[in-house]
């Protein structure tokens, strides 16, 4: 089974869990990202790998038009329901492979992808498609989790992430995000890194795991909590809640007018 089919099947299974996750529904996060991208009333946004549509709908209440695309039919079904519940006519959704976006060149003033590159084996092709669909002088934005600087720590969490969600491919380093923009001649307007703390038990519930994966997660947690390097990012807090600390990277660029 190829990586895209794994992503499609996994998110069809876990679509409702993902939509119910407090991080997915966190309007404070959405507002901060909306402001980071500098979205305006006149903007038309392409939301790549839009998931269950929460950010698309948040934006549609505030800008001219939004079109969301996702590989998972289960996610798109939830996104359409959310748009209908909110009575929005200026947001549409489409189920499609985002390596080949079914939109005309130079269509959108802003193109963004949020919390999805770590699922994509061929993220450079997705980025090229994002760029193609963006208008000259338009804005390109990516937000995603960022790899840990220490190789041992990063290897541990990559193994853990793949057991939490089988569709996880690889977490990019900060330099890889920046290089992606540079190689495609997208001028970086600004970038920002923020550390977030996740309730690990709730984090588990946003995805679907097999029994085998749950056993491996238990073994990894036991190992990680006893390791002084790893336990800086995976620990029990004062309320006896298991916390996962991750860095999230945001980057915004401008498509040059050639």
51: Cβ–Cβ under 8 A, 6 or more apart, which residues?
Answer: 11, 18, 19, 24, 70, 72, 75, 79, 115, 116
The 10s digit of each residue's pLDDT in 40-77 is 999 999 999 999 999 999 999 999 999 999 999 999 99
Residue 169's pLDDT band (cuts 50, 70, 90): very high
User: pTM score, two decimals?
Assistant: 0.96
The 10s digit of each residue's pLDDT in 182-241 is 999 999 999 999 999 999 999 999 999 999 999 999 999 999 999 999 999 999 998 899
**pLDDT over 70 at 258, yes or no:** no
Residue 190 C-alpha from the chain's centroid:
18
- The CATH number for 3-147+168-196+248-255, chosen from 3.40.50.150, 3.40.950.10, 3.30.540.10, 3.90.1150.180, is 3.40.50.150
**Looking at the DSSP assignment, which residues form a beta bridge with residue 245?**
197
Ranges of each domain in the chain? 3-147+168-196+248-255
Residue 29 C-alpha from the chain's centroid:
12
* CA-closest candidate to residue 161, choices 1, 10, 5, 9: 10
* CA-closest candidate to residue 39, choices 65, 70, 6, 72: 65
Q: What is the mean pLDDT of residues 73-92?
A: 97
The 10s digit of each residue's pLDDT in 16-25 is 999 999 999 9
Which residue has 């939004």 as its token pair?
A: 66
CA dist 102 and 119 (Å) reads 20
């Amino acid at each position: 089974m190829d990586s895209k089919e794994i992503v499609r099947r996994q998110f069809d299974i876990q679509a409702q869990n993902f939509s119910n996750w407090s991080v997915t529904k966190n309007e404070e996060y959405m507002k901060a990202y909306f402001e980071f991208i500098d979205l305006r009333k006149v903007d038309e946004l392409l939301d790549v790998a839009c998931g269950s549509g929460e950010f698309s709908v948040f934006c549609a209440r505030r800008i001219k038009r939004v079109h969301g695309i996702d590989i998972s039919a289960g996610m798109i079904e939830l996104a359409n329901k959310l748009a209908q519940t909110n009575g929005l006519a200026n947001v549409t959704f489409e189920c499609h492979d985002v390596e080949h976006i079914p939109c005309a060149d130079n269509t959108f003033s802003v193109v963004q992808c949020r919390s999805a590159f770590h699922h994509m084996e061929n993220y450079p092709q997705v980025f090229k498609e994002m760029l193609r669909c963006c208008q000259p002088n338009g804005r390109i934005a990516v937000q995603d989790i960022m790899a840990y600087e220490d190789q041992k720590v990063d290897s541990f969490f990559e193994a853990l992430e793949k057991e939490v969600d089988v569709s996880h491919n690889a977490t990019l380093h900060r330099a890889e995000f920046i290089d992606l923009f540079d190689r495609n001649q997208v001028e970086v307007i600004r970038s920002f890194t923020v550390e977030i703390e996740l309730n690990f038990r709730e984090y588990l519930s946003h995805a679907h795991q097999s029994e085998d994966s749950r056993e491996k997660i238990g073994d990894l947690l036991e190992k990680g909590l006893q390791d002084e390097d790893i336990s800086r990012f995976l620990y029990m807090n004062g309320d006896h809640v298991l916390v996962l600390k991750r860095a999230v990277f945001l980057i915004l660029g401008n498509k040059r007018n050639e």
